[in-house]
Amino acid sequence: MLKLFLDLFTRTQGKVEAARRAKAMLARMDELGFGNCTNTRACEAECPKCVSISNIARLNREFLKAKMKD
């Protein structure tokens, strides 16, 4: 799910909705009891879906951009 979500950030049509999706994704992760994914590589090592640190960093960047626009 996270990989598909992050792939949408790279598509032109997805860039319009990137902020909304990033906030929704992190809200859902909080609901499910996931902690924040950081850029320290700990999340990458523990991730059951093997999401790479580059995709975790992209999600964090999109989330920060979205929060700054609020």
**pTM for the model:** 0.66
CA atoms within a 13 Å half-sphere pointing along the CA-CB vector of 28: 9
Note the pLDDT of residue 66.
87
Q: Give me the average pLDDT of each 10-residue run along the chain (70 residues).
A: 62 70 86 78 80 85 86
Written as one letter, the residue type at 48 is P
Note the pLDDT of residue 62.
86
Note the pLDDT of residue 2.
64
Closest residue by Cα to residue 61 from 6, 2, 11, 16: 6
Note the pLDDT of residue 10.
60
Domain ranges of the chain: 2-7+16-69
First vs last Cα of the chain: how many Å apart? 25
Note the pLDDT of residue 5.
64
Closest residue by Cα to residue 47 from 22, 21, 56: 56
